[in-house]
Amino acid sequence: MKAVVKTQKAPGAELLEMPLPEIKPDEALIKIKVASICGTDVHIYNWDSAAQVYIKNVPQILGHEFAGEIVKTGKKVKKFRVGDYVSAETHFFCGKCAQCRNGQRHICETEKGKIFGLSCDGCFAEYAAVPERILWKNNPRLAPEIATLQEPLGNAVYCALGDYDKNLKGKKVLIFGDGPAGLLAAGVAKAEGARFVTLVGRHQKRLEIAGKIGADITLNEKENNATELLSQLLNIGKGFDVALEMAGSKNARDLAIKSVRDGGRLSLFGIDTDPFIIENSGQYVRSAKKIIPITGRLIWRTWRETKRLLESGLLDITPVITHKFPLEEFEKGFRAMTERPKVSGKVILIP
């Protein structure tokens, strides 16, 4: 089979002819219909310091977002059968540790950091072996190009809805970050009935996509300094009910926490390594602002919420799909994701 393989611990990847994956008793063999490139794949492709944490062994087939059909099942597979149309959660989980027993399988203690397509061969190939435990059965009516995006869309759903104050109806929502996750979150917030959605980003083309998918107001961070931006935001929102930090920048996080009204909620999804300092803890406690770190998706709660949104007809994520290539042209896909100015949303690969 054809596959995109990381062959060296260095930038790049190669299209190679690889043997069909052997499935273990608890795995299914999936014929991949469509896959999509994630920001993590770009880190791995470029082989920057963030990628080196994930990939321990080469050669390895890249990719973790997909939609496909089961063509073979291992002896122990019980709930899925040949012909099922599936996608997958990417975080492995044991089902037994304290986190798993408390509805937090996405941060499983035993399988910490084990992710499909990062810790093992992935789906940028004609076929992939996937454990039953992480498979998700798709609605047959869901287009494969949308089904492959459920994994990143799940990040956006979890971030937008948070952990417990799940109702966005009538709320004022502020999003930092115009990467695919931020754009998808704008769509989710609107579909969930937000009164208005403001998105702050840095790339004109992406801000246009944000407008198409659900943002009522978009602001270009590059055209304003931080003080101007904050005064504009405070002016627009008079205090936002909910802010989502999806840019991974200290600046955005500081602005986000200042822009949330007292008692409001801030979801932190973006990753950076800067210190996170609350200057005056007394003031913060009295503000009753809730800060929620978001990683991965709640398994399977977020998947069910994502399904509900896609099936409701209220959420159309097609504006986020900006490029499609046959798998053989994967290099064009990675180029589209890295070129400046940034114009890409999600890039689809078709084996």
User: CB of 97: closest distance to Zn ion in angstroms?
Assistant: 3
Among 15, 16, 71, 94, binds Zn ion (CB under 5 A): 94
Among 110, 139, 167, 295, binds Zn ion (CB under 5 A): 110
Which region among 85-93, 217-225, 280-288, 329-337 touches Zn ion (by CB under 5 A)?
A: 85-93
C-alpha to C-alpha distance for 216 and 208, rounded to whole angstroms: 11
C-alpha to C-alpha distance for 137 and 307, rounded to whole angstroms: 10
Query: Which residues pair with residue 169 across a beta bridge?
Result: none
Among 108, 115, 128, 337, binds Zn ion (CB under 5 A): 108
Q: Which of 7, 40, 110, 306 is catalytic?
A: 40
User: CB of 9: closest distance to Zn ion in angstroms?
Assistant: 21
203 is catalytic: no
Q: Give the DSSP per-residue string, 53-82.
A: HH--SSSEE---EEEEEEEEE-TT--S--T
C-alpha distance from residue 205 to each of 56, 58, 97, 101 (Å): 35, 36, 44, 43
**At 217, which amino acid appears?**
I
Q: Which of residues 140-159 bind Zn ion (CB under 5 A)?
A: 152
Of residues 302, 284, 234, 292, the one with CA closest to residue 266: 292
Instruction: CB nearer to Zn ion: give 108 or 156.
Output: 108
Site size for Zn ion (CB under 5 A): 9
67 binds Zn ion (CB under 5 A): no
97 binds Zn ion (CB under 5 A): yes
Pairing of strands 321-326, 346-350: parallel
Tokens, residue 58: 């080469």
Among 29, 35, 100, 257, binds Zn ion (CB under 5 A): 100
129 binds Zn ion (CB under 5 A): no
38 binds Zn ion (CB under 5 A): yes
Instruction: CB nearer to Zn ion: give 178 or 216.
Output: 178
User: CB of 182: closest distance to Zn ion in angstroms?
Assistant: 14
Which region among 22-30, 58-66, 159-167, 201-209 touches Zn ion (by CB under 5 A)?
A: 58-66
- Cβ(144)–Cβ(318) under 8 Å? no
Long-range own/partner contacts, residues 221-226 (CB < 8 A, 24 or more apart) = 221/252, 226/251, 226/254, 226/255
C-alpha to C-alpha distance for 245 and 200, rounded to whole angstroms: 10
Q: Is 274 exposed, middle or buried (0-12, 13-18, 19+ CB in 10 A)?
A: exposed
Which region among 108-116, 197-205, 232-240, 334-342 touches Zn ion (by CB under 5 A)?
A: 108-116
User: CB of 110: closest distance to Zn ion in angstroms?
Assistant: 5
**At 96, which amino acid appears?**
K
- Cβ(111)–Cβ(296) under 8 Å? no
Q: Which of 7, 43, 227, 295 is catalytic?
A: 43
- The alpha carbon of residue 13 and the mean position of all alpha carbons in its chain are separated, in whole angstroms, by 22
User: CB of 90: closest distance to Zn ion in angstroms?
Assistant: 7
Q: What mask of x and - would describe binding to Zn ion in positions 201 to 230, judged by CB under 5 A? A: ------------------------------
Q: For residue 340, what are the contacts with CB-CB under 8 A and spacing of at least 6?
A: none
298 binds Zn ion (CB under 5 A): no
Instruction: CB nearer to Zn ion: give 152 or 214.
Output: 152
User: CB of 118: closest distance to Zn ion in angstroms?
Assistant: 9
302 is catalytic: no
User: CB of 298: closest distance to Zn ion in angstroms?
Assistant: 14
Q: What mask of x and - would describe binding to Zn ion in positions 255 to 274, judged by CB under 5 A? A: --------------------
200 binds Zn ion (CB under 5 A): no
Of residues 239, 287, 230, 236, the one with CA closest to residue 260: 239
Summarize as ranges the residues that interact with Zn ion (CB under 5 A).
38, 65, 93-94, 97, 100, 108, 110, 152
Active site residues: 40, 43
